Amino acid sequence: MSGPVNTVELYYEERGQGLPVVLLHGFPFDHTIWQAQQGALSSSARVITPDLRGHGQSPATEGDYTMDLLASDVLALLDRLDVPRAVWVGHSMGGYILMAALRLAPERITGVGLVATHPLADSAEKRIQRRESAELAMENGSADTAFSMMSQIFAPDVDGTSPLAQSVYDIMVNTSPSAIAGALRGMALRPDSTETLRELSVPAVIVAGAEDKIVEPDTARAMATLISGVQLVEVENAGHMPMIEQPDVTTQALSSLIRMVSVQER
Q: What is the pLDDT along the chain (266 residues), one digit of tens a residue?
A: 445 679 999 999 999 999 999 999 999 999 999 999 999 999 999 999 999 999 999 999 999 999 999 999 999 999 999 999 999 999 999 999 999 999 999 999 999 999 999 999 999 999 999 999 999 999 999 999 999 999 999 999 999 889 999 999 999 999 999 999 999 999 999 999 999 999 999 999 999 999 999 999 999 999 999 999 999 999 999 999 999 999 999 999 999 999 999 998 77
The SS3 call for residue 12 is strand
Which spans in the chain are helix H? 35-41, 67-80, 93-104, 124-140, 142-153, 163-173, 177-188, 194-198, 217-224, 242-245, 247-265
Q: Name the nearest CA neighbour of 122 among 68, 188, 66.
A: 188
In this predicted structure, what is the pLDDT of residue 1?
42
Distance, in Å, from the CA atom of 106 to the CA atom of 85, rounded to the nearest integer, reads 9
10 Å CB burial of residue 101 (0-12, 13-18, 19+) is buried
In this predicted structure, what is the pLDDT of residue 4?
61
Distance, in Å, from the CA atom of 239 to the CA atom of 214, rounded to the nearest integer, reads 8
Q: In the chain, where are the structural domains located?
A: 12-120+192-261
Q: Which CATH architecture has domain 12-120+192-261?
A: 3-Layer(aba) Sandwich (3.40)
- Taking the CB of residue 108, how many other CB atoms lie within 10 A of it? 18
Q: Which CA distances in Å does 115 have to 52, 87, 133, 188, 236?
A: 16, 13, 24, 19, 14
Distance, in Å, from the CA atom of 210 to the CA atom of 15, rounded to the nearest integer, reads 30
pTM strictly above 0.95:
yes
In this predicted structure, what is the pLDDT of residue 160?
86
The SS3 call for residue 133 is helix
Q: How many CA atoms lie within 13 A of 117 on its CB side?
A: 28
